Chains A and B, each alone.
Chain A
Amino acid sequence: MDKKLKSIAQKLAKKFDGQLDDSLEQARVIVPSGKIVELCKELRDKHDFESLTGFSVVDYHPQTEPRFHLIYQFRSIAQNIYLEVRMELNGSELLVDSVTGIYPGVNWYEREAWDMFGIQFEGHPDLRRLLMPYDWEGHPLRKDYPLGYEEVQFTFNYDEIAKRKPSPKE
């Protein structure tokens, strides 16, 4: 792994009370929930990470401490390195500070996280559903949301499914 990347990751882990995980030749810093805005400011101003290229959430459902990991992918073109920061989030408090003030490109990513996982972002200019219909209830990508698998209509069960399948009224 790049020496510069390793040193930045180690400095970050020490300052924000996190752990460094460098398996599979990637730098990953796992931090507890809280100071994400400070972390982003430090990366942008001191370490020259100009863009936040990806943001998503992983749900570890049956465990609640932490239940979610928020994954931020930072990119620095000047130094040609990618850094991943994971922030832990407990199931009971689903409110996080938004980083749209620092990296404006994360706007829709946070909207998608609200839509799919139900995590609210404080300070986001426009938190509405993005991918699901406007009046949908529930947050689909959580692990306790069902897939919505429908039984396939073969010849042996044709009639019983035809009864409950909606059909157009012309």
Chain B
Amino acid sequence: MPFPGLTALPFCFFLIACHHPPAITGAPKKVEVKKAEGVFRIYKNGKPFLIKGGSGFTHLRELAACGGNTIRTWDTTHLQSILDEAHHYGLAAIVGLDLPVSTLLDEFYCNKQKTDSVYSAYQSIVRRFKNHPALLVWCLGNEIDFPYRPRFAAFYKTFNRLVAMIHEEDPDHPVTTTLTNFQKRNIVNIKLKVRGLDFISINTFNPLKTLEKDLQHFKWFWDGPYLITEWSPEGGWETQVVKWLAPIENTSTKKAELFRDFYQNYLPHKDPRFLGSLAFYWGWKEEYTHSWFSIFNEDGTPTEIVETLRDCWRDTVTHHQAVQLQYMLLDGKGAADNILLSPGSTHQASLLLAPGEHSDSLCFHWEIIREDWWGHKKSHWTKPPAEQGLLIDSTTLQVAFRSPLKEGPYRIFVTAFNAKGFCATANTPFYVVE
């Protein structure tokens, strides 16, 4: 790529700003990022360590059984027990130290009292856990964004101070932060304004398809190591939507297929700067819907994605035990048909199983839940309560249901369980119009 004139200027600043003091050489660190023979790797206890894991902190036994080696937290809640459990299963942990987004200047970064209290809290956390054998990396902040404008100076000051503190308290573990997708802005500002990060981490979904190319094009400016801390095919913000802008969700069968596709074709395995990846979300969470990112069901039943990831990480091809679906229909229509229902009317929903599956050996659970479109405005996503009394029998392959009386967007969900301990999910959005 030619050297664009406009970016030359920040680059000059970068040369000045990036003058690091020479590293103190001494005893080998427990975990460090090193470049050997042109390849970046995390070295754990002196051995190269390629991260293959789940972005999540539950179901650790299953993760270890699948061949994963790393988990991740976003904050420090129950950190002791999570690290202990991880250690128990021989897993490493990326420990998240939560920070508010950089735009909250008045609310946080410009408030000395608040930043000081976070500083001392994290100081004690680092002191407490720095010798935990499961600890791999400190991750300071998740998608907090690194803007250009000078008014964010307070944010950079706080951030740099925290990074310095972690390094000082715990020279044995690298520090990173996660960024949303590949964005030049973030990388430029981290280069120019942030000191002490050992590598960057990227959370990326559909744009994973172009990540390697994007990074390659920007190599002239930044060619350091990176870790993919969240990956999954299609987030709810980047997929096909119905006319009322509710995203259309894939069945768990389709998701498993896409996970394999993404892992094999888009994760930059051959990139010498690639430190590893964490699949999102290893566990169960509500985001858009309760099944969108969840690799496990609410009750802990795994979906087919678990088997897919096991195959990916172990590089095997196995016969999957999980339930496989084709799609769900509502009155013979799919989600893309933009289904409108009148309140209190009766309808049929049916699930089409993949060939080879028999409904006799499965049990089903149907739910009607209103669309969770404002979930991210709440302090955290929570699953809205299911509408009551609408389903006549919610355990069959086909169900008849009465539409809700209140106008608004809803979804009908189904989860199919089999005797082998797996489940599959599907849902269809619809809108009740009075």
Q: Do A and B come from one complex?
A: no
